[in-house]
């Protein structure tokens, strides 16, 4: 971790306000998965091309996420079955900036990700009237059919330039209300967020240099498969084989 912090401290900083110019709520997401031990090499090659988000003198941020699904895990199964035009509903706490949002992510059949969110002042067991209206308007799921299925925490480094954002997530932990826990401490998930996918992106070039290939990866689905082993998750077997290979 010290080596990672040393590299991150060499980037020029940026603020949340500056990054508002690159919100990319309607975007193309491309994910890459690698071992955390590759991050220092990758980041060294990105120092001149990106700034790093800094909040309260911190550049490695903590995040907590609460994922909702139906009692039958409809959103999980739709993702596993490759359904297009699918949704995820989550409550995300941005710990370092002391903000929480109720968020809906929609993956379209054109491989675009649209994210809608509203501020969530408190983490309550019940949805407020405003949140109920938001769910009704932005998703096909009603508040009555949603229940908490998974808690996820991780650390994140966020890079940006004038056209894209790059998030790097690691130290993943998954839990549920029954006390089951799943850990992926040595895995890093790199997500490149662009208006349109471009191979001319500096981070894409660097990842190719280090033989890190694009790989679809859902923290919700992988965590759910780990925490609920009785759920059908055959289509994620290749992901777990890759995880084992990268973190062995």
Q: What is the CATH number of the domain that holds 197?
A: 3.20.100.30
Segment 95-105, tens digit of pLDDT: 888 889 999 99
Q: Which residues span the domain enclosing 128?
A: 2-247
Segment 234-248, tens digit of pLDDT: 889 999 999 999 987
pLDDT of 17 over the 90 cut: no
pLDDT of 2 over the 90 cut: no
For the ranges 61-70, 94-103, 177-186, which has the lowest average pLDDT? Answer: 94-103
Predicted confidence at residue 26, as pLDDT, reads: 64
Share the mean pLDDT of the chain: 91
Predicted confidence at residue 199, as pLDDT, reads: 79
As for how many domains the chain has, the answer is 1
Q: What's the per-residue H, E or C state across the chain?
A: CHHHHHHHCCCCEECHHHHHHHCCCEEEEEEEEEEHHHHHHHHHCCCCCCEEECECCECCEEEEEEEEECCCCHHHHHHHCCCCCEEEEEEEEEHHHCEEEEEEEEECCCCCEEEEEEECCCCCCCCCHHHHHHHHHHCCCCHHHCEEEEEEEEEEEEEECCCEEEEEEEEEEEECCCCCEEEECCEEEEEEEECCCCCCCHHHHHHHHCCCCECCCCHHHHHHHHHCCCCCCHHHHHHHHHHHHHHC
């Amino acid at each position: 971790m010290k080596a990672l912090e040393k590299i991150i401290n060499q980037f020029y900083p940026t603020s949340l306000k500056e990054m508002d110019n690159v919100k990319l709520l309607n975007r193309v997401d491309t994910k890459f998965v690698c071992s955390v031990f590759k991050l220092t090499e990758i980041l060294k090659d990105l120092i001149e091309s990106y700034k790093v988000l800094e909040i309260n003198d911190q550049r490695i941020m903590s995040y907590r996420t609460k994922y909702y699904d139906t009692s039958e895990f409809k959103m999980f199964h739709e993702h596993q079955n490759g359904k297009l035009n699918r949704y995820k509903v989550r409550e995300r706490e941005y710990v370092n900036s002391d903000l929480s949002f109720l968020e809906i992510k929609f993956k379209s059949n054109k491989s675009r990700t649209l994210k809608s969110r509203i501020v969530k002042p408190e983490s309550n067991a019940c949805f407020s009237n405003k949140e109920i209206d938001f769910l009704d308007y932005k998703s096909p799921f009603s508040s009555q059919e949603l229940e908490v299925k998974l808690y996820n925490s991780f650390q994140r480094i966020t890079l940006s330039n004038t056209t894209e954002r790059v998030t790097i997530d690691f130290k993943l932990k998954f839990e549920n209300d029954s006390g089951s826990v799943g850990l992926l401490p040595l895995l890093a998930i790199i997500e490149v967020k662009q208006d349109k996918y471009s191979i001319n992106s500096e981070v894409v070039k660097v990842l190719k240099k280090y033989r890190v290939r694009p790989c679809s990866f859902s923290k919700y689905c992988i965590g759910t498969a780990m925490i609920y082993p009785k759920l059908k998750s055959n289509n994620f077997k290749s992901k777990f084989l890759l995880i084992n290979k990268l973190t062995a």
